Structure formats: structure tokens, C-alpha cells
Amino acid sequence: MATFRDIKKVFFQMDEKNQEQILREIYNFSKETKAFLNMNLLGSGDKIFIDEISKASESSTPKGYPKEISVRKINSILSKAKKSKVNNKTLQQMELIAFEGYMTFLNDYGGGPEIYEDKIGDHLKNYLLLVLKNEPYNKHTYIFDEMRGYLRANQNMLYDNIWHIFENLTGEEV
């Protein structure tokens, strides 16, 4: 297989028309490639990832039947978003969507796969770390108050660990 250097050399030796054709084919190769190019060349594409993770985090069908959340799909979407270099605010929003998706499933259906409990903690931790990194200090209080209210409203024995995560990262009690 050729190296990147070999590919680059051949690409830049092509005339502009052929370069454009290759770029078009790369762009149309997959949704992920389109998102990557949009993020890296135009600084847009966040909405694609937000929509994707929102859909993957839904825990019920349009008729209200339970729909298991694919942990692999959620992880894949987050990984692709990071590789596409989405901004930290978008990652923050995506982590919150994933967290709420798992919480909704477990609350609506009284349980689910054990991995969901782990994932709730992982996504809450990632979300809170991104809040601490991205948001000005005066906004932390508002966001933490919202999350505290959410955690209290969804109080359940299964989720003691997420209270500890919240308290350890924020220094505040639930």
C-alpha cells in the first residue's frame, strides 16, 4: 500500500479537474467523511453529530415501545466527533444527551443492561469535566444547580454512584 507521501505527490501532480473529482468522491464516500470535511474545512457539522447521538440515545420507538440503546453506537459517534475535531461545547452537549438517554431508559423501564449504569457514570463525568473546562465560573453554578435538580428528580438506589461523581467533580452536594 502506498504511503501518504506517495498519495500526496500524485494528487498534487493532477490537474485541477481531476483533483476536484477525487475530492468529490472522497466527500461522497460516507456520512462520516462528509462530517469530517465539514468540521475541518468549514468549521461546521456539529449538528450532524448532535442529531446522530440524539437519535442513537432515544430509548423508545415512536409507538412508545422500549428500544435498547446501542452502547457501541454511542461510543462510535463520540469517537467520530472527537476525530472530526468538533468543539468542546459540542462534545459537552453530546455527553449530556448520552447521559440523559441512558437515564431515561433506566427510569422508564425500571432497569436495563448493567452496562447502562456504568455508562451513566462515564457520560456524567465527561460532561461535568467539559463544563469545568468550557464554561466560565459564573455559569458553573447554574449548570450544576440544573444537574443537581435533575439528579434529585431521578433519585434511585441504582444511581448512588452518579451522586458521588457529581459531588467529587463539583465539590457540591446533591
- The secondary structure of 24-82, three-state, reads HHHHCCCHHHHHHHHHHHHCCCHHHHHHHHHHHCCCECCCCCECCCCHHHHHHHHHHHH
Q: What distance, in Å, lies between the first and last C-alpha atoms of the chain?
A: 55
DSSP annotation of 125 reads H
Q: pTM for this structure? A: 0.80
Backbone torsion region of residue 99, taken as left when φ is above 0, otherwise alpha when ψ lies between -120 and 50, otherwise beta: alpha
Q: How many CB atoms lie within 10 A of CB 91?
A: 20
Burial (CB count within 10 angstroms: exposed 0-12, middle 13-18, buried 19+), residue 69: buried
Residue type (1 letter), 36:
F
CA atoms of 123 and 145, how far apart (whole Å): 18
Q: Are 128 and 77 in contact (CB under 8 A)?
A: no
* pLDDT digit string (tens) for the chain, length 174 residues: 889 898 888 888 989 998 889 889 988 888 778 877 877 777 777 888 899 999 999 987 777 778 889 999 999 999 989 988 888 999 999 999 999 999 988 888 877 788 888 899 999 999 999 999 998 878 888 899 999 999 988 876 667 788 999 999 998 888
- On whether the CB atoms of residues 109 and 66 are closer than 8 A, the answer is yes
* Residue 17: C-alpha distances to residues 8, 13, 26, 33 (Å): 16, 12, 14, 21
Residue 70 is predicted with a pLDDT of 92
